Chain A
Amino acid sequence: MPRKDLKPIGDLIQATGRGLDCLAGGFTIDPWKPVELSLITHAHADHARPVATRYIASKASVPLLRHRLGQDICIQGVDWGETLLLGDTRVSFHPAGHVLGSAQIRVEREGEVWVFTGDYKPDSDPSCEAFELVPCDTFITEATFALPVYRWPDGGTVVAEIIDWWQQMKRSNRPAVLFAYSLGKAQRVLAELRAYTDELVYLHGAVAPMTQLYRDAGIDMVPTELIDPKAPRQDYAGKLVLAPPGASGSKWMQRFPKASTGFCSGWMRVRGNRRRDGYDRGFVLSDHADWQGLLNTIEATGATRVLTTHGQSATLVRYLREERGIDAAELRTQYTDKSAVTPPTYEQASR
């Protein structure tokens, strides 16, 4: 806890060597080095690391965090919008629309409001809470897809493409193996599919536990079955299989002879990314904001200052400064800093 007589000066939230530190509140957001108290935006491995003594997160995030960081961690779940008094600050969690339980963290001190988005997506998604716009003075935004070529097609259209592809594979008697990150993207696909089918979808071992946690949280998804690696091989012709991208090209894939492969990711918007990894199909389904989504959100928050993390930070900063006249700067963090040509692999980081 900060000492009352020692008033911290400078920015309310600062990127230090260990995370996004809030000295006035005595906590660190999404730390990557050991800290006492951490506030976690969401359960992806670049944001949730087992480095804190105590954790605070949205209630919906708690089971996911326990799964990833350990069942015995000391964690407090808070309701959406509930105000916590931490040090000199008032803190609340607001849905970020990224994955189940993902939060933006609002921090207020003496009328000055900061928001850190973590990762976010303003588009609709049946598998998680809808993004909430939180007005603020300083907005710390992710910039994973901050290039104007990243424009997301409507999610329903993309899922219809997945259904089409699955149907084609049924006709040609081949398995359809769809790669999607095991936390968030895979469950979004399973939830979106619900509008089209009730057919069983098969899951890789990395996807199954997350999916169960989503079911426990009441998310409506198509029925699924775990592929038991020890069970005798069976024929998956015409079946849809969901697996993490790390399984691509692995021995595990040998059980799906003649499979057609697809990858669900915002990176698939660019053909070279898809060709590079040899996926047959790329489905543009992202859990981040696209270029326009970032600009619209930034404008709508009314923020006069914008700080950026992730991906194309430098591009977004230059654009905001030169074209929008906004006071913008990059924050140096350790959140997955993947360039546009390197799709992030949360799975690998968490293993």
Chain B
Amino acid sequence: MKAFELARPVTLDQALQELEKDSAKRDRTKLFAGGQDLVTELKEHLVEPDKLVDLKRIPGLDRIEVQPDGSLVIGCLVTLATLAEHAETKNFFTALAEAARSVGSAQIRSQGTVGGNLNQRPRCWYYRHELAPCLKKGGSECYAYAGLNKYNAILGGGPSYIVHPSDLAPALVAFDAEVTLRGAKGERKLALEEFYTLPAEADVTRETVLAPDEILTHVRVPAKPGWSSTYVKFKERGSYDFALASVAVAVRAAGSPRTIQDARLVLGGVAPKPWNVPKAAEALLGIDGVKTWTAAGNRAVAGAEPLAHNAYKVPLVKGLILQAMEALAKR
């Protein structure tokens, strides 16, 4: 990998000082958290920054705070292992703990952070291959579109067909999570859903609205009293793998027969960003059962445009929704 300067700020302000202001030069400086994604990018020469800004010496960012109303404020340096084992998260935001638990291997979870997870780069293997200068890397062609696209998007794709690789993101979107972005000029908060972009709507070389001189410092997950949730991820290899597809479902249910009063349904692994499908969630409302689950499944993949090798994701998503709802009904 190319030699770089390693900055080790001990305050957020110092860290912000280190960052590049100029969007055109944004890859000259990179934030460095657990390094589980960044170091592979460096080794494969996908980014060759002059400077890394290590966030790990900044105190206070590695905590999960439970607010009096039950909402969570998660610092960007909280590790996936911590999140997966956090009692309140497990009890009240089950899908989030399950999503954290589903990431990579134990080693990656103990090193990888929430901030890094949400800001990780795509796994499309053309993106990851130095010799495929595709759109995502400023080239002129999406090789996956007509190439080996088994792992690519069936929804929201074009002109790039990546799927967003983060497991936390769909679960957090299902909980209406909000992120805090700190920049030199101050702080802005926005819904996590708005943080991610589709390639057709914004810069195709990026996946988020994060400015080069901003740091994602916290994720706030509003309390959802009376809700239950689950994250079901399908991995080709169970031991460790990214999602071929995943579903985060959260519902508020009561009564007998069990009736769903409110619901969220977000897909992972199928689109360039967490794929929130309120129409599918709506289909879940009413008396809980296979009928509404199937209807939700059909709506979730409405508009899917599979490429040559990924049509299987359509039945897969439907199957995962059935599995997720079955699991929730048993709770």
A binds B: no
* A binding-site residues for B, Cβ under 8 Å: none
